[in-house]
Amino acid sequence: MSTVAVGKPVPAFSLPATDDQTISLEDYRGRNLVLYFYPKASTPGCTQEGQDFRDLESEFAGANTAILGVSRDSVKAQQNFKDKYSFNFPLLSDKDETLCGLFDVIKEKNMYGRKVMGVERSTFVIDAEGVLREEWRGVKVKGHAQAVLDAVRAL
């Protein structure tokens, strides 16, 4: 499978999501989309990142931009995460790593001295026509949501 590239259209995708939804890229045609990948629901960094996007959601909406969070967690785990922290955007479950593969976010990581394959914290901005415009890989959480908002406003 080929992966996405800045300046190129993002291939169609569809995944199960929170609130008994199935979400497709096509659902966001005409709006910008922030797609952020995180390693695991309810862990400290992932919680902070979600809260930062949540707290800026109205500003993203004002910039004609929707937010979607993605991890390999089950829909149930995603729903619990969303409900616990009152996230005001959907979370997608990519258990089979289809979207993770398309965006090439599965990387070798060190966990307690063991090599494991996991999600590298990454964020992508897709424009209203479905073209990838920005990407951040190996994201550090602090200040990231604001940097993404600034990039969206510059589109």
Going residue by residue through the chain (155 aa), what tens digit of pLDDT does each one get?
568 999 999 999 999 999 999 999 999 999 999 999 999 999 999 999 999 999 999 999 999 999 999 999 999 999 999 999 999 999 999 999 999 999 999 998 877 888 888 899 999 999 999 999 999 999 999 999 999 999 999 99
Annotated catalytic residue: which of 35, 46, 70, 125?
Answer: 46
How many helices, marked H, and strands, marked E, lie in the chain?
4, 9
Determine the pLDDT at residue 117. 87
Determine the pLDDT at residue 112. 81
> What single-letter amino acid sits at 26?
E
Determine the pLDDT at residue 150. 97
- In this prediction the pTM is 0.94
Determine the pLDDT at residue 2. 62
Q: Domains in the chain and their CATH numbers? A: 14-153 (3.40.30.10)
CA distance 13 to 103: 11
Asked about 100 being catalytic, the answer comes back as no
Determine the pLDDT at residue 61. 98
Determine the pLDDT at residue 109. 81
Q: Is 45 left (phi over 0), alpha (psi -120 to 50) or beta?
A: alpha
